[in-house]
Amino acid sequence: MSGYDFDFFISYSRQGSVQKWLLNHFYNKLKDCLADECAPAPRVYMDRHMPRAVEWSHNLQTSLRHSKIMIQVMTPHYFTSGWCMAELYSMRAREEMLGFASARIPQGLIYPILYSDSENFPEEERMRKYHDFKEFAHPDPVYQQTVHYFQFHKEVKQLARDLVELAHQVPDWQPDWPIVELPEPIVTPRPSLPRFKPCPEP
């Protein structure tokens, strides 16, 4: 499997509570559960753990190109983030290049998990089956002390089994995996302030 540096690449938006959830619960739990499933332990990329002094946008592109599977953490802000869309479209371009996620080969290289919402996602994003984690979307550390955390562990364990099985099916790495260029930052114009009229004379 020369050419792959990571088995899984976590793609997510930093808006909202999802980043806190990933760092407090999901990331380490997933690594532990993956290590329970196979040896050597699969490698998981998350942008909060990149080496110091690297140029982060290039690190993201390189890490995605050298990853087997993308774990897409779906939230409302995910689909409004240019960076997330670049990661998503890059992996979709790889699927198209290989003929994956199609009528001929239904399995893809993107594994979506649902953190929040889903009612307002783009129509095409509802076509791919996702793993629903909304019930376990509790970002604070105290969640680990509750009786519900056992079920969260079971859910991540099932996810790890799925991911390991999927990772065994990916094709050999190719140096021409496509990367969609990151878009220019989108600046949303500020709404104009209402003009205040002078108070009428009493």
pLDDT confidence of residue 53: 46
Count of beta carbons in the 10 Å neighbourhood of residue 63: 18
Query: Is residue 97's pLDDT more than 80?
Result: yes
Please tell me the distance from the alpha carbon of residue 140 to that of residue 168, in angstroms, as a whole number: 34
- CA 6 to CA 42: how far, in whole Å? 7
Give tens-digit pLDDT for 163-182.
999 999 999 999 999 998 76
pLDDT digits (tens, 9 = 90+) for 105-118: 888 999 999 999 87
What is the tens place of the pLDDT at every residue in 42-88? Answer: 999 998 755 554 455 677 888 999 999 999 999 999 998 888 999 99
* pLDDT recorded at residue 119: 77
The two tokens of residue 89 are: 């479209």
pTM for the whole structure: 0.85
Report, as an integer, the average pLDDT of 24-50.
92
Question: Across the strands, what pairs with 114?
Answer: 74, 132
Q: Which of 113, 178, 121 is nearest to 152 (CA)?
A: 113
CB neighbour class for 109 (10 Å; exposed up to 12, middle 13-18, buried from 19): buried
Q: What is the mean pLDDT of the chain?
A: 85
Preceding amide of 40 cis, omega within 30: yes
Q: Distance between CA atoms of 41 and 33, rounded to whole angstroms?
A: 9
What is the structure's pLDDT at 157? 97
- Which conformational region is residue 40 in: left (phi greater than 0), alpha (psi within -120 to 50 degrees), or beta? beta
pLDDT at 195: 42
pLDDT in tens, 126-135: 678 899 999 9
